[in-house]
Chain A
């Protein structure tokens, strides 16, 4: 069984569009994260939720809005997509501050 899953795996869209990425974990973890990995492979945290509550919100444009309907799900909605948003977005989960398990990633390409 997949521990952390994301959909879609690939997303190609035009500038100005709005898109969502979904993440689900079946590990029973209480904390979930969104990371952005750019073309240089830098991994940067964007958001973190603990028990459905936002606990980390890095300096991310407010076009990005996370939403956690329950402990097992963390979605990411992006409004007015820009070229610079092109990257691989990874969801991850953990129990508290322990080991983080990453999802397979969503490769977003904005044209």
Chain B
């Protein structure tokens, strides 16, 4: 069935360290993979996305990698800062909708 698995569910890092969040998806037809950041009490906001014709995309301190063969994609945040603390969701497109992962709560300690 339609499924996106996300790990870890919680992640604590020291300021300045890197953070990696991993997702796997089930539908080989998925071709769009966005990442959303949701701060406490706020709406999810897109931080980066990648399409299936690209293996890697970078935007300043964040990057996403995609392995279509293995059906997994990852979010990498370098030089983490306290304001990176939030819940991060991966998602994969399946026909006309997005299926979201279960979220990762990232805490960055100063």
For the complex, is A39 an interface residue (Cβ under 8 Å from B)? no
The digit string for A85-99, where 1 denotes a CB below 8 A from any CB of B, is 000001000000101
Stretch at the interface among B15-23, B43-51, B53-61, B74-82: B43-51
Residues of chain A within 8 A of B87, CB atoms compared: 41
Give A99 Cβ to nearest chain B Cβ, in Å.
Answer: 5
Asked whether, in the complex, the Cβ of A102 is within 8 Å of the Cβ of B96, the reply is no
With contacts A55-B96, A99-B34 known, is A42 near B43, CB below 8 A?
no
Task: Name the contact of B46 in the complex, choosing from A43, A45, A97, A100 (C-beta under 8 A).
Answer: A100
Chain A interface size, under 10 / 10 to 19 / 20 to 34 / 35 or more: 20 to 34
For the complex, is B13 an interface residue (Cβ under 8 Å from A)? no
When chains A and B are docked, how far (Å) is the Cα of A104 from the Cα of B45? 10
Interface size on B, residues (CB 8 A): 20
Residues of chain A within 8 A of B32, CB atoms compared: 97
Tell me if B's interface is mostly helix, strand, loop or mixed. strand
Give B43 Cβ to nearest chain A Cβ, in Å.
Answer: 4
**Closest 3 pairs (CB-CB, A-B):** A102-B43, A43-B100, A41-B103
Interface residues, chain A, with chain B CB atoms under 8 Å away:
33, 40-45, 48, 50, 55-56, 90, 97, 99-105
Nearest to A101 among chain B residues (CB) is: B46
Nearest to A103 among chain B residues (CB) is: B43
Task: Name the contact of A45 in the complex, choosing from B38, B42, B89, B98 (C-beta under 8 A).
Answer: B98
When chains A and B are docked, how far (Å) is the Cα of A102 from the Cα of B38? 11
For the complex, is B65 an interface residue (Cβ under 8 Å from A)? no
Residues of chain B within 8 A of A40, CB atoms compared: 102
